[in-house]
Each structure stands twice: as C-alpha cells, then as structure tokens.
C-alpha cells in the first residue's frame, strides 16, 4: 500500500485526479477544434495579432475588437490553460467567435511557459496583461471600467490570481481602475496538490512557491463579480478547488463570488460553448458583462 500524499490520496490516486487527458479519452479532438476555430476567428474577424504587452518578457496578446458596436464595450481577457507548461493564445482565439459579434472585445494572452520561468513570473505576466488591457482598452473600443478576466484550468488559476491583485501597488496599472470581474473555468486555486503530483516533475515548484501563488491563500478581491465554474464530470479535486475558494472569499456588498457545477461537462467540453455566440454560456456571460 502506498503512503498517503494529500487529503487521503496516495500519489497514484492524486495523479489520477489531475490527469485530465487520461480522464477524457478524446481530449485531442477538443484541442484540435479550438485551434481550427481560432484560425477561423483570425481569418474572419478584425484582429490585431501579437501585440506586445510586456517589455521584460516580450510576451504578446491578440486583440479582437467587438464587431459593429457603437461607443465603448466590455472587454474579455482570456488566459489559456495547459498546466502552465503547454498551449498558447492561439488555442483560445476561438473565444472571439463567441463574443466579438455579441458586443464584447476579446484579448487572448500568451505567457512564458514553465519551467522556463517560475510561477511568480507567470502570474506577474498575466497581471501585466490585464494592466495593459485596462490602459489600452479605449484604443480598440473597449471600456476600461468593464474589463473582465477569464481562463480555463491553469488559466482559471491565473484568473483568480489576477482577481487577488493589489492594483494600487502594481506598476503599470492605471490609477483607480480595476477588473470588473471574471470567470474561472476548472480553476486550480490551491497549488499544493499540484506540487505533490506528477505535474511537478516538470513544474518543479517548492512548497513556498506553490503556497504564495495559490489564490486560496491570497486576500480576496475587494470588489468585482467573480464566477467559478467546474464540470460535473471533472472529479472530486476539481470540484473541491472551486468550492474551497468560493467559501474562502465569500460575497460582500462590493464583491460577488459564485460557484457553479455544469452538469455532465468534462474538463474540455466545459469551455467548448465559448466559441458559439448563441450558446447559453456565452449569453449568460454577456449579460453579466453588460454587453448590448
């Protein structure tokens, strides 16, 4: 019998909780579809490709202005997953298909993949991408006061890390402007089990690094409308991650925190509707963001 590693899991069972590719046999089909839809977005929508947002790292964003809108519009920043070590913004450009024609500008973000940098740097880059977007939003028709952040899996973690940012002390953030809220899909808000799993063979996080980069241990955002969503077929640990953060942060008169289980959705199918402008998920998100 193997010794217990974390919360009653031995190493093999903890690994199984976080091995999404093993849990979803045809995961490649989802990723291939995201890339194909991203190509369609870049080909059919107005787009600004590979716009630099961070001088230190040289990382870039793709910007998709909202189609056919008058005046300023909400902006959705979308951060890709891949356990901080894989994928890129082109795998999430598909989200622009869902939102650009619904009156929402979309910004997709690249960050330096681990283990080339530490988790602290990945978080810094994503915070800087949000600061850049809040500063530049008006240049592509966006409203700096209605910048929202979303992401999937590792991107869900980076979404809530952004939410917990002290923007008053973040160099480059516009004074008095903060994100309006966000949507964390399948977020990893507690990195301790990640650092104890097979994933850390590549990530190489120590206990201090994993803790200080866990939104679970960060101060709750003082304001905003923050939604955590997880698929009903994702497993106990993914459910716990969102339940625990929602409980730790809680709602106040100035901050709304919600958590929802999407019945029947697995780790990959959960975000498939984001490329469909007529999907119920996109409609609900547009309503929350105040899109026309």
Domain range annotation of the chain: 26-225+237-272
3 exposure class (CB count in 10 Å sphere: 0-12, 13-18, 19+): exposed
Task: Please answer whether residues 226 and 184 qualify as being in contact, where contact means their C-beta atoms are separated by less than 8 angstroms.
Answer: yes
CA nearest 286: which of 43, 41, 69?
Answer: 69
| Environment class of 135 (CB within 10 Å of its CB; exposed 0-12, middle 13-18, buried 19+) | middle
Residue 102 has pLDDT above 80, yes or no: yes
Pick the range with the lowest mean pLDDT from 64-78, 120-134, 205-219, 232-246.
64-78
Summarize the confidence of residues 46-61 as an average pLDDT: 97
69 has a pLDDT exceeding 90: no
The interaxial angle of helices 236-249 and 11-18, nearest 10 deg, is 80
The whole-chain average pLDDT of the chain stands at: 97
What is the per-residue pLDDT for 185?
98
What's the pLDDT score for residue 68?
A: 82
In this structure, which CATH number among 3.40.30.10, 3.40.50.1820, 2.70.150.10, 1.20.1250.20 belongs to the domain 26-225+237-272?
3.40.50.1820
pLDDT of residue 292: 67
| Cα dihedral across residues 110, 114, 116, 121: positive or negative | positive
Longest dimension (CA), the chain: 64
Give mean pLDDT, residues 5-21.
97
**Contacts (Cβ under 8 Å, ≥6 apart) of 173:** 131, 134, 135, 165, 167
Q: Which of 82, 93, 154, 161 is nearest to 128 (CA)?
A: 161
Give the per-residue pLDDT at 1.
58
Higher pLDDT, 2 or 212: 212
Q: Report the distance separating Cα 27 and Cα 268, nearest Å.
A: 7
Q: What percent of the chain has pLDDT over 90?
A: 97
Nearest residue to 161 (alpha-carbon basis) of 219, 81, 224, 238:
219
At residue 22, the 3 state secondary structure works out as helix
What is the rounded CA–CA span in Å between residue 133 and residue 143?
10
CA atoms within 13 A on the CB side of 133: 35
Angle between helices 119-136 and 154-163 (to 10 degrees): 60
Answer yes or no: is pLDDT of 147 > 70: yes
């Amino acid at each position: 019998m193997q010794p217990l590693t974390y919360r009653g899991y031995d190493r093999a069972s903890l690994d199984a909780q976080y091995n999404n590719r093993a849990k979803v046999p045809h995961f490649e089909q989802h990723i291939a579809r995201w890339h194909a839809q991203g190509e369609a977005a870049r080909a059919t929508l107005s787009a600004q490709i590979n716009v630099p947002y961070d001088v230190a790292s040289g990382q870039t964003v793709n910007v998709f202005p909202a189609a056919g809108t008058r005046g300023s519009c909400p902006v959705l920043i979308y951060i890709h997953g891949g356990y901080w070590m894989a994928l890129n913004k082109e795998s999430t450009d598909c989200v622009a298909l869902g939102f650009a024609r619904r009156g929402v500008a979309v910004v997709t973000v690249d960050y330096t993949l681990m283990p080339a940098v530490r988790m602290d740097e990945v978080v810094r880059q994503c915070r800087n991408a949000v600061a850049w977007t809040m500063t530049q939003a008006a240049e592509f028709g966006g409203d700096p006061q209605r910048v929202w952040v979303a992401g999937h899996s590792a991107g869900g973690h980076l979404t809530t890390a952004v939410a917990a940012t002290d923007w008053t002390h973040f160099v480059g953030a516009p004074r008095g402007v903060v994100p309006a809220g966000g949507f964390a899909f399948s977020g990893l808000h507690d990195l301790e089990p990640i650092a104890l799993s097979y994933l850390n063979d590549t990530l190489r996080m120590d206990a201090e690094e994993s803790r200080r980069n866990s939104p679970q241990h960060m101060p709750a955002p003082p304001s905003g409308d923050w939604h955590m969503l997880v698929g009903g077929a994702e497993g106990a640990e993914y459910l716990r991650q969102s339940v625990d953060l929602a409980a730790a942060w809680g709602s106040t008169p100035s901050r709304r925190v919600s958590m929802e289980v999407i019945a029947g959705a697995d780790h990959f199918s959960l975000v498939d509707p984001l490329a469909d402008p007529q999907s119920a998920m996109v409609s609900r998100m547009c309503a929350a963001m105040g899109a026309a």
